[in-house]
Structure 1
Amino acid sequence: MDKHDLLRQLSVLAEQHLVSEQEVLQALRQGKSSPSQHGTASRFTEILYYIGGLIIFIGITVLIVQNWEMLNSITRILVTLGVGIAAYVMGVLYMQRKITQNLTTAFFFLSTILLPTGLFITFHEAGFDVETAGTNVVISGILLGTYLASYSLYKRNFFLLFTIIYATWLFFAFTSLLFGGNPILVEWKFYAYRVMITGLSFIFIGYSFRDHERRKMLTGPLYAFGILGFLASTLALGGWRPEQSLVWELLFPGIDLAVIFLGVVFKTRAFLVFGAMFLMAYILKITSEYFSSGFGWPLSLVLLGLVFIAIGYFTYHLNRKYLG
């Protein structure tokens, strides 16, 4: 029975009052809302592909570690970079046929693990110091170019995700190359500012993806990692007494409350949850810094507990009212 026959029969049943409009609409809603067994099986199969790729990588790693001294340079490169390139090519080939498209996940995942490892080993065997910022710039640049080109060609979110990851790696490596070792910069603060910039970038990228049909599935993870990095770096820049930064300590509450407000506006649970968590961390930090001596500390702990309860209730209320 095709669609037209089904609609015709449904029309006859409606004329005979054997089926009502409400029953038809209810059946349609149930058909749309109930997850298909095929979709569940497909997700389970994809998880198995990832696990399989990870097991292969572990096997190759054990092989290299156990026989490192016995392997020559060419063999070391072949079993890492060579296998990674081969896995990538196999993923592309399997993607061309619909019946084998699901297998591409395993091969692309395997290549994503092996390619960076293989490049590090290749540069190491070529005599480069793989711990320097310059070498990391070259390796991350190669990987970024590869995955950006792959996304341009195949439009898969997998490639887009790792394009963002490798771009982040390149950003840290390049800024270390330019400013690393500068005596004017405090190393941990330099790192914190870069984490802050990265977090903001993730948030803006996630926001730009929110209405895109294919990319919007990355919005949630980008928001979560972005706001985590942004708030953590902002809190860290406040420092600790006696070397605290009063500017950042005064700015942080406003920044954190703004994050909670944006979580309500954009209906983003990550903003709300992390905003509440870091607000509690900030209050704990301030009380331990300035009220940790004498009778003020026990009283501060009591008040702190009440504040935490209030924040928890406030967060729960916002979550139910605006995001539930």
Structure 2
Amino acid sequence: MSLKEDALQDIVSLARHNQITLEEIAQAFNSPQIQAVKASSSVLSKLFGYIGGIFVFAGIGVFISMYWDDFGSAARVIVTLGTGFVAFIMGLVCLADKKYERAATPLFLISSFLQPTGILVMLQEYSSGGDVRHGMLFMAGYMLMQQGATFWAKGRTVLAFSAVLFGSVFFANLFDILGVNEKLIGIIIGTSLLCIAYALNQSKHLAIASFWYFVGAVTLLWSIFESVEKSPLEPVYLGASALIIFLSTYVRSRTLLLVGTISMLLYIGYYTAKHFANTVGWPIALVMIGLALIVVSSLAVRLNNKYIKSN
């Protein structure tokens, strides 16, 4: 498949996911200056919206930190969980009006931080002991249901991000409580995140796909390495790194290519340092590492240009 055909597939996919008609595409091609003005105003609107959100969050944080020791248990819950829930409701209200729609994202981000913090504060203030993991499970489960249901109804990317985040925390704690091996948990969560990132990359939420590709790949590779470290199966990690590089060409992700390449180079350095350090073969090993760096980096550039750059 040529680069042009790949680009056309991406255009068709984006148009379908964002419900863009052929007439709108043709109009955009015929009036590039108008589109440039709209894009510029859109960027400024987002910029001021995020800056405003940062100031609001900073103000809330400073207020809470100044009077935290003076607050009672109820007040601490109200200024964290209560403020976060109000920010969440305000975000929903902003989505109902086109004029204030861009303010929704900063509000949802603020609520996604304050609400779980407030839940943990509430559990700390009013609980009578118990396993901390159960509290984390409750917090993550509540946030997953809230953010997931709202994402299902509103389709906002920021809600997709928080739903994936709290879903990962929920299932990691659930598996830990059930006694699943922590390395197996990492492999399951990492693989799941890679699948979710692939689905996000095929939707209108592709802006957050690279982040979850990175988290999923790092989690998976780290868990595999810990599982096979100092065992005869250690070279399996090298195969996992090669698999990540192969996946990067299939899904056309520079993030996966970067993670796979770096992990492979790190393992080569680790292996040679472990088996050849303080021996006559160490200088030869250094030369081998240098050659491996050149070969792998050259391969990564070729894969990027041939399979990924068109994305």
- TM-score when normalising by structure 2: 0.82
Structure 1: 5+ residue stretches without partners = 1-25, 181-189
Query: In structure 2, what is the equivalent of residue 235 of structure 1?
Result: 225
Query: In structure 1, what is the equivalent of residue 305 of structure 2?
Result: 320
CA contact (8 A) 1:198 1:229 kept: yes
Distance 1:319 1:276 in 2: 11
CA contact (8 A) 2:28 2:35 kept: no
- Counterpart check, 1:67 vs 2:67: yes
- Counterpart check, 1:300 vs 2:291: no
- Counterpart check, 1:270 vs 2:255: yes
Q: Relative to 1, partners in 2 of residues 1:121 and 1:27: Cα closer, same or farther, differing over 3 Å? A: closer
Q: Relative to 1, partners in 2 of residues 1:27 and 1:147: Cα closer, same or farther, differing over 3 Å? A: closer
- Counterpart check, 1:193 vs 2:184: yes
Residues 133-189 of structure 1: per-residue CA shift (max 9 Å, x gap):
011111111111111121122221221211111110101211222228xxxxxxxxx
1:32 positional shift: 5.5
Query: In structure 2, what is the equivalent of residue 208 of structure 1?
Result: 199
Distance 1:257 1:34 in 2: 46
- Number of equivalenced pairs: 284
Residues 14-49 of structure 1: per-residue CA shift (max 9 Å, x gap):
xxxxxxxxxxxx997574599623323323432433
Q: What code does the residue aligned with 1:315 have? A: A
CA contact (8 A) 1:116 1:139 kept: yes
Query: In structure 2, what is the equivalent of residue 147 of structure 1?
Result: 147
The one of 241, 245, 270 equivalent to 2:231 is 245
Q: Relative to 1, partners in 2 of residues 1:305 and 1:132: Cα closer, same or farther, differing over 3 Å? A: same
Residue correspondence of structure 1 range 127-142 to structure 2 within 5 A: 127-129=127-129, 132-142=132-142
After superposing the two structures, state which structure 1 stretch, 271-280 or 217-226, moved more: 217-226
CA contact (8 A) 1:130 1:136 kept: no
Q: What code does the residue aligned with 1:154 have? A: K
Distance 1:202 1:308 in 2: 28
1:64 positional shift: 2.7
- Counterpart check, 1:58 vs 2:58: yes
Distance 2:62 2:131 in 1: 22
State the SS of the aligned residue for 2:178: helix
CA contact (8 A) 1:57 1:114 kept: no
Identity rate of aligned residues, in percent?
Answer: 25
Q: Relative to 1, partners in 2 of residues 1:124 and 1:320: Cα closer, same or farther, differing over 3 Å? A: same
Distance 2:285 2:303 in 1: 26
1:309 positional shift: 1.2
Q: Which runs of 4+ in 1 moved over 4 A?
A: 26-35, 128-131
Distance 2:99 2:111 in 1: 21
Residue correspondence of structure 1 range 271-286 to structure 2 within 5 A: 271-286=256-271
Q: What code does the residue aligned with 1:200 have? A: T
State the SS of the aligned residue for 1:68: helix
State the SS of the aligned residue for 1:245: coil
Q: Relative to 1, partners in 2 of residues 1:167 and 1:299: Cα closer, same or farther, differing over 3 Å? A: same
Query: In structure 2, what is the equivalent of residue 13 of structure 1?
Result: none
Residue correspondence of structure 1 range 212-223 to structure 2 within 5 A: 212=203, 214-223=204-213
Q: Relative to 1, partners in 2 of residues 1:294 and 1:49: Cα closer, same or farther, differing over 3 Å? A: same
Residues 80-118 of structure 1: per-residue CA shift (max 9 Å, x gap):
111111111111122211111112222222211111111
Distance 1:154 1:28 in 2: 26
Distance 2:51 2:294 in 1: 41
Query: In structure 1, what is the equivalent of residue 216 of structure 2?
Result: 226
- TM-score when normalising by structure 1: 0.79
Q: What code does the residue aligned with 1:125 have? A: E
Using CA pairs under 8 Å that are at least 6 residues apart, name the structure with larger relative contact order, 1 or 2.
2
Q: Relative to 1, partners in 2 of residues 1:125 and 1:39: Cα closer, same or farther, differing over 3 Å? A: same
Distance 1:33 1:225 in 2: 39
CA contact (8 A) 2:176 2:182 kept: no
Query: In structure 2, what is the equivalent of residue 113 of structure 1?
Result: 113
1:231 positional shift: 1.9
Q: Relative to 1, partners in 2 of residues 1:130 and 1:108: Cα closer, same or farther, differing over 3 Å? A: farther
Q: What code does the residue aligned with 2:231 have? A: S
State the SS of the aligned residue for 2:162: helix
1:314 positional shift: 1.5
CA contact (8 A) 1:94 1:101 kept: yes
CA contact (8 A) 1:147 1:163 kept: yes
